[in-house]
């Protein structure tokens, strides 16, 4: 090989990352939302979100839907890059419409409708389960048929955990929001009866670390649940974007040190992706392999993506 070609291929080799690793980093965002029912229709919401995903190489996003119309809209236009999920149980809104999702069925998707969409594959996840906001326990009677459907169709379930948001944050900024809000319900221990009843369920805990160190029992229960159920994963949304970086760093190190680095998944909760990535890159103790796992591999395993789809995500045509 002529010398200049040798150096050329050497530089290409390094540009592509050592040992053949591509520098391109596909991302799976496990935590996104189409607008809540109460939101003023943001005409460009889908366009804006899809542009944000594309700009950061988010190849797949779990998108929470709040009505059947919204599901149709997103499924028609954004099916390659999103997995449609369904939100429940939604909190009461003291204004009209009186629930933040599925207002015709008191904040829950209608069961026959949900089953038809799970069967067809149009809905492939339940997310975000809003127990804190709604004030009912995950093991409540009302939820049983939904857990049973998640198990029957083997779909992943994202649960809002930990005690936030505090009054005045997120949708609690709306004075009409959530008369039954109960932060204690976000303790992951409340998922134990559900996991005992449906041990195969793939559940991911959302917002892990979002109380910082203020409630140590939440850390104890989170780590215990992860230890007892290998099919429980988590996202650090809000902890990774809004909380001080020290809190985020402590959370991620605590999880990695406890042996759960292979269960942490990336979630933005619709916060801008770039600052989250910058904060993650600033955590020096994370290796590039751990970063890649958090950004893509852990979620790909949790979602059981096929080798073919993983190849396509790594090398789009």
85 or 118: CB nearest Zn ion:
85
Residue 183 has a CB neighbour count (10 Å cut-off) of: 17
Closest residue to Zn ion, judged by C-beta, is: 269
34 or 59: CB nearest Zn ion:
34
Q: Mark the segment that binds Zn ion (CB under 5 A) among 9-17, 96-104, 128-136, 193-201.
A: 128-136
Please report whether residue 134 would count as binding Zn ion according to CB under 5 A: no
For residue 212, the minimal CB distance to Zn ion (Å) is 19
Please report whether residue 128 would count as binding Zn ion according to CB under 5 A: yes
29 or 269: CB nearest Zn ion:
269
118 or 171: CB nearest Zn ion:
171
For residue 279, the minimal CB distance to Zn ion (Å) is 18
100 or 229: CB nearest Zn ion:
100
Of the candidate residues 269, 290, 305, 313, the single one contacting Zn ion (CB under 5 A): 269
CB 25 within 8 A of CB 292: yes
Q: Mark the segment that binds Zn ion (CB under 5 A) among 36-44, 52-60, 95-103, 264-272.
A: 264-272
Please report whether residue 235 would count as binding Zn ion according to CB under 5 A: no
Residues that bind Zn ion (CB under 5 A): 128, 269
């Amino acid at each position: 090989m002529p010398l200049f070609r040798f150096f050329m291929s050497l530089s290409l080799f390094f540009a592509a990352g050592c040992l053949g690793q591509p520098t391109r980093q596909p991302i799976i965002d496990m935590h996104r939302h189409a607008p809540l029912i109460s939101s003023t229709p943001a005409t460009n919401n889908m366009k804006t979100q899809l542009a944000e995903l594309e700009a950061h190489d988010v190849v797949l996003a779990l998108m929470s839907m709040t009505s059947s119309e919204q599901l149709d809209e997103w499924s028609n236009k954004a099916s390659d890059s999103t997995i449609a999920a369904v939100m429940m149980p939604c909190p009461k809104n003291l204004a009209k419409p009186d629930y933040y999702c599925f207002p015709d069925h008191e904040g829950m998707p209608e069961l026959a409708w949900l089953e038809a969409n799970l069967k067809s594959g149009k809905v492939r996840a339940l997310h975000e389960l809003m127990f804190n906001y709604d004030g009912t326990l995950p093991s409540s009677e009302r939820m049983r048929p939904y857990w049973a459907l998640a198990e029957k169709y083997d779909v992943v379930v994202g649960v809002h955990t930990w005690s936030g948001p505090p009054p005045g944050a997120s949708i609690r900024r709306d004075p009409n929001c959530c008369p039954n809000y109960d932060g204690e319900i976000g303790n992951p221990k409340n998922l134990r009866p559900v996991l005992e009843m449906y041990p195969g369920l793939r559940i991911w805990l959302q917002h892990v670390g979002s109380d910082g160190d203020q409630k140590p029992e939440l850390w104890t229960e989170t780590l215990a649940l992860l230890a007892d159920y290998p099919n429980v994963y988590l996202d650090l949304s809000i902890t990774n974007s809004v909380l001080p970086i020290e809190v985020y760093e402590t959370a991620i190190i605590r999880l990695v040190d406890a042996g759960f680095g292979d269960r942490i998944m990336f979630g933005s909760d619709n916060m801008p992706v770039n600052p989250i990535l910058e904060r993650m890159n600033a955590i020096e103790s994370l290796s590039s392999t751990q970063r890649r796992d958090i950004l893509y591999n852990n979620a790909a395993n949790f979602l059981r993506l096929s080798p073919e789809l993983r190849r396509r995500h790594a090398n789009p045509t």
